[in-house]
Amino acid sequence: MTSHHTLSVCLDVSGLLPPEPMEQILDALAALPPRASLQVRIDREPFPLYRILERDGYDHRIAPRDDGGYDLTIRAVRCKGN
């Protein structure tokens, strides 16, 4: 059996005011290694970010936390530049 391990990079942008969370997320995505995912801890659902993620070839999942914040997972679904 083959095991596929994916690198996960964590980013906590909770407590930051807009647009800082989106800027930090986009900077982290630009530096994300191939096949890695970005795990983001954020205070609010980042609706403006979703269109950018779709346009740039990223898939995302978001899950609410008990404290009112969100856990956002972002991963590339196609190669950068395509």
CATH number at residue 21: 3.30.110.40
Residue 39 has pLDDT above 70, yes or no: yes
pLDDT at 70 over 80: yes
Q: Write down the pLDDT at residue 79.
A: 58
How many angstroms separate the Cα of 58 from the Cα of each of 29, 30, 40, 80?
9, 12, 14, 10
Whole-model pTM: value is 0.86
Asked if residue 22 is part of any domain, the answer here is yes
Position 24 in a domain:
yes
In a domain, 82, yes or no: no
Mean pLDDT of 31-41: 94
Domain that holds residue 67: 8-76
The pLDDT of 46-70, averaged and rounded, is: 96
